[in-house]
């Protein structure tokens, strides 16, 4: 009986489209936005990432980790560096009609925790691993690789 329940939950989760789980209010910045402005925006909206656009087209993503690695550790000036200097690119995106299961599989394969969601060429949302964990908990097993710390040799 328990196996049947797990199978049914996973089967249902595989049919849930990304658009039903994603965050719709995506914050964006331009390529020439300073890192200082980016951090202020991320703090204002209490978000861990922001999408970089060129015109209307998403071209990169900046996460808190990107800022730590590319700016804080080397002690660079946040007023002189821009989004183009710290963004991760090329950007992996997904269609809003894709199933959450497919999205979770892609995220695990690419080792990314956030993926912009598109409708044709338009940015319509962002899907994060926390969106999936809280809204479709049966997908947790697929995302385990993202939350496991990297093995370090000491």
Q: Is residue 54 part of a domain?
A: yes
What pLDDT shows up at residue 134?
80
128 found inside a domain: yes
What is the pLDDT, as a whole number, of residue 86?
95
Report residue 113 as tokens.
Answer: 């925790």
| Total domains present in the chain | 1
d(CA 68, CA 119): 31
d(CA 25, CA 124): 8
DSSP state, residue 70: I
**pLDDT tens, the chain, 154 aa long:** 333 444 344 555 568 899 999 999 999 999 999 999 999 999 999 999 999 999 889 999 999 999 999 988 888 888 999 999 999 999 999 999 999 989 989 998 999 999 999 999 899 999 998 888 887 766 666 566 555 655 444 4
**Confidence (pLDDT) at 44:** 97
Cβ(93)–Cβ(117) below 8 Å: yes
Note whether residue 154 is domain-resident: no
DSSP states of 4-63: HHHHHHHHHHTT-BGGGTSB----EEETT-BHHHHHHHHHHHT-SEEEEEETTEEEEEEE
Range(s) of the domain holding residue 31 = 13-147
Q: Read off the pTM.
A: 0.79
| Residue 24 located in a structural domain | yes
Q: Determine, yes or no, domain membership for 5.
A: no
Domain for residue 4, yes or no? no
Q: Would residue 152 count as lying in a domain?
A: no
* CATH code of the domain containing 40: 3.10.580.10
């Amino acid at each position: 009986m328990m196996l049947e329940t797990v199978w049914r939950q996973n089967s249902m989760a595989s049919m849930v489209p990304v658009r039903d789980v994603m965050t719709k209010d995506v914050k964006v910045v331009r390529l020439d936005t300073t890192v200082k402005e980016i951090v202020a925006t991320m703090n204002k909206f209490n978000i861990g990432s922001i999408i970089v656009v060129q015109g209307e087209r998403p071209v990169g993503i900046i996460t808190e980790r990107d800022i730590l690695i590319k700016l804080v550790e080397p002690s660079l000036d946040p007023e002189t560096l821009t989004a183009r200097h710290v963004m991760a690119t090329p950007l992996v995106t997904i269609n809003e009609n894709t199933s959450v299961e497919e999205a979770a599989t892609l995220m695990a394969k690419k080792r990314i925790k956030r993926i912009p969601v598109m409708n044709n060429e338009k940015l319509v949302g962002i899907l994060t691993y926390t969106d999936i964990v809280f809204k479709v908990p049966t997908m947790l097993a697929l995302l385990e690789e993202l939350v496991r710390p990297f093995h370090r040799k000491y």
